[in-house]
Structure 1
Amino acid sequence: METSVGGDFRWELVHTIPVDGGRDRAITRAAELARTCSDSGREAKESQAYGRRIFRTADEGWLVEVGRSYWSNDTKSSITSKTHVRITVGELELERETPVAQPPAKGRLRRALGGG
């Protein structure tokens, strides 16, 4: 699941959900999530608290506009915010952990300049 980030229209992978049962089961699960996800891209505990528009973008993809209202004490009115969530079914082909960074090697130049 991806959500739009900030005002510069970037997308960020925020959540992956492993699904057992093959591709058809994964598509069914993704369609359910399109109907129940929160504005953060996670499954909502109370999906009725959110408005939504769901667009099927491909056989295995959805674009969801999720809206949520809250009361503003400043304006004394209801304010609605909207976020977009992209849900895509994909098959994991490779998973490799990110290597841990190592400190830079001490070289002659660093020692000559007084570095450690």
Structure 2
Amino acid sequence: MTQGGFDLGPRRHPRRMSLTPMIDVVFLLLIFFMLASRFGTDVALPIAGGAEGAATEWQGVPRLVDVTPDDILLNGTAIAPADLVAAVTQLLPEPSDAVILRPRDDADLQRLVTVMDALREGGITNMILVE
């Protein structure tokens, strides 16, 4: 017996911590995030910057589409989204002529993309995006 009255045997050295469970958890997280992630290609929007419009000679009347959070304006006049393609097409001397898009008043990106998609579905492919 020892001083306190109990003999716990010889003092053992503390065991070294094993890293195997931590490595298992890291691999499980890696597999989870790989399976939960979406792998795919991002879609690029075919638009021209403001400099492209300056290099070509402008033909016809102005075709400025302002996209706001609540309205779509064609040359400063509010227009219904369903009527936009027909109204812009009437202003184009050639189907390949440019249309200028300008997001305004904190219009979000999704609203701009929706307008661009509507124009593209209507056959208008040459769009210039300006600030």
TM-score, with length taken from structure 1: 0.25
The structure whose Rg is larger is 2
Structure (1 or 2) with the greater helix fraction:
2
Q: Which has the higher contact order (CA 8 A, sep 6+)?
A: 2
TM-score, with length taken from structure 2: 0.22
